[in-house]
Amino acid sequence: MSKILITGGAGFIGSHACVEFINAGFPIVVLDNLSNSKEESIRRIEKITGKTVTFYKADMRDAAAVRRIFEEQQIDAVVHFAGFKAVGESVAKPLDYYENNIGGTFVLLQIMREYGCKTIVFSSSATVYGMHNPIPYVEDMPTSATNPYGYTKVMIEQILHDICISDPEFRAVALRYFNPIGAHKSGLIGEDPNGIPNNLLPYIGQVAVGKLQQLSIFGNDYDTPDGTGVRDYIHVLDLAKGHVSALKYAKEHAGFMPINLGTGHGISVLEMVHAYEKACGKPISYRIADRRPGDISANYANASRAKELLNWQAEETLETMCEDSWRFMQQNPNGL
Ligand code: NAD
Ligand code: UFG
């Protein structure tokens, strides 16, 4: 039976996607080198779904290891999450980011070609809209980046686009995620960053659970309703479901297609803090700090292409995003 290879399937978004693919009846194989995740997340996927997961602890840059998977498993599509994702770290270590994200994708695409596998769903990001597009972001706007991480997404989208032009049977959907947050309803899988979190939600969660003292809100003088930054936060479960729809779409449509996965609504940092306080039932200590370099004031998606092509739209709410995140934090205060 043909299977889907999920790269980065032990990570935050990948693990939720594994659950959704299994629930939708797709046989999956997971590849992850566990550089930013733990094998425990595979056990948790198994616990949630009641199914055994075929897991290869392997690096996507290791051609022999990837080839072995294609040799041993009948892979007919790839859902490609694996990569480094920290913007600040990418500025400090650009070579690592280009080598892992682009180099790894190269190896994967070459081996897909060797084995005649022509379907890929790729984890792109709203970061490809750069600094200068007006909001809401629409897929046909020009792409650009402001840091090496963002450039890896822009370049991989370009590579996929070019492959689709060269091979009329190739199909690639680039899903441009906005800000994924939340966790599985079971509280068994969720976001488990190494070290001090860079992103808002895991930071708030660690303040709530008592691991961190105080949130710094990066700027309250933006041109937004309350002065704090506005983003389109999307529940990771909605996002995961979007991948199942995207894969079904890709199987039926050749060519390159970028699709936003967002709710279409912006939430400010202060609104998020208050929603989380409600979910966890205690105050979140915060202070107003300077703006974070590189941040934009506001972004959110135009989510109509996903609705039109994938028949997908976000269903969770700000409340459930915070409640589910808090459940995961309470059950796993020290991560997985
Ligand atoms: P994550 O770090 O939790 O998951 C990525 C997984 O890839 C990890 O399990 C890591 O161990 C694995 N990995 C990294 N390099 C690898 C390699 N060379 N070989 C094999 N495995 C490797 O991150 P996430 O939040 O789940 O993000 C998944 C994807 O979505 C990434 O490509 C990321 O850039 C993209 N994305 C994430 C966000 C976000 O805010 N979380 C937003 C937009 C896009
Ligand atoms: N913020 C704080 N304090 C924190 C962390 C964040 O005030 O401790 C604010 C930020 O200034 C921003 C908002 O919360 O206004 C969201 O910040 P995140 O770091 O959670 O998310 P970003 O929107 O900055 O980054 C996300 C992804 C990146 C991606 C980027 C652009 O994490 O991978 O969107 O699409 F590149």
Any ligand 2 atom below 6 A from CB of 84? no
Block residue for tokens 């022999």: 64
Token pair of 320 as six digits:
């459930």
The percentage of the chain sitting over the pLDDT mark of 90, rounded to a whole number, equals 97
| Neighbour-count burial of 195, counting CB atoms closer than 10 A to its CB (0-12 exposed, 13-18 middle, 19+ buried) | exposed
Any ligand 1 atom below 6 A from CB of 180? yes
Its pTM surpasses 0.85: yes
| Ligand 2 centroid from CA 62, angstroms | 32
pLDDT at residue 200 greater than cutoff 80: yes
Please choose, from the candidates 66, 121, 113, 127, the residue with its C-alpha nearest in 3D space to the C-alpha of residue 251: 121
pLDDT in tens, 114-144: 999 999 999 999 999 999 999 999 999 999 9
pLDDT at residue 282 greater than cutoff 80: yes
pLDDT in tens, 204-247: 999 999 999 999 999 999 999 999 999 999 999 999 999 999 99
Any ligand 1 atom below 6 A from CB of 14? yes
Output the residue whose Cα is nearest ligand 2's atom 4.
200
CA–CA gap between residue 16 and residue 25 (Å, rounded): 15
Average pLDDT, rounded, for the chain: 97
Any ligand 2 atom below 6 A from CB of 48? no
Which one is catalytic: 56, 137, 149, 177? 149
Measured from the Cα of 126, ligand 2's closest atom is 35
Any ligand 1 atom below 6 A from CB of 129? no
Predicted pLDDT at 1:
76
pLDDT in tens, 296-320: 999 999 999 999 999 999 999 999 9
CA–CA gap between residue 99 and residue 82 (Å, rounded): 12
CA–CA gap between residue 293 and residue 281 (Å, rounded): 32
pLDDT at residue 59 greater than cutoff 80: yes
pLDDT at residue 5 greater than cutoff 80: yes
pLDDT in tens, 9-47: 999 999 999 999 999 999 999 999 999 999 999 999 999
Residue 299's contacts (CB-CB under 8 Å, 6 or more residues apart) are 126, 129, 135, 137, 178, 230, 231, 232, 266
Measured from the Cα of 218, ligand 2's closest atom is 7
Predicted pLDDT at 305:
98
SS3 content of the chain, % helix, strand, coil (to 5): 40, 20, 40
| Ligand 1 centroid from CA 65, angstroms | 19
CA–CA gap between residue 35 and residue 278 (Å, rounded): 34
CA–CA gap between residue 131 and residue 153 (Å, rounded): 15
Please choose, from the candidates 90, 100, 110, the residue with its C-alpha nearest in 3D space to the C-alpha of residue 33: 100
Average pLDDT on 271-285 reads: 98
Any ligand 1 atom below 6 A from CB of 82? yes
Predicted pLDDT at 298:
96
Average pLDDT on 251-264 reads: 98
Q: Point out which residues pair with 267 in neighbouring strands.
A: 231
Predicted pLDDT at 51:
98
The crossing angle, in degrees rounded to 10, of helices 148-166 and 104-114 is 20
Q: Distances from the Cα of 239 to the Cαs of 70, 123, 132, 260, in angstroms?
A: 27, 11, 25, 10
| Neighbour-count burial of 308, counting CB atoms closer than 10 A to its CB (0-12 exposed, 13-18 middle, 19+ buried) | exposed
Average pLDDT on 187-201 reads: 94
Whether 149 is catalytic is yes
pLDDT at residue 91 greater than cutoff 80: yes
Average pLDDT on 194-204 reads: 94
The count of other CB atoms within 10 Å of the CB of residue 151 is: 20
The percentage of the chain sitting over the pLDDT mark of 70, rounded to a whole number, equals 100
| Ligand 2 centroid from CA 69, angstroms | 35
Average pLDDT on 69-98 reads: 97
DSSP reduced 3-state for 114: helix
| Ligand 1 centroid from CA 11, angstroms | 6
Predicted pLDDT at 194:
87
Q: Point out which residues pair with 119 in neighbouring strands.
A: 171
CB 129 within 8 A of CB 137: yes
pLDDT at residue 84 greater than cutoff 90: yes
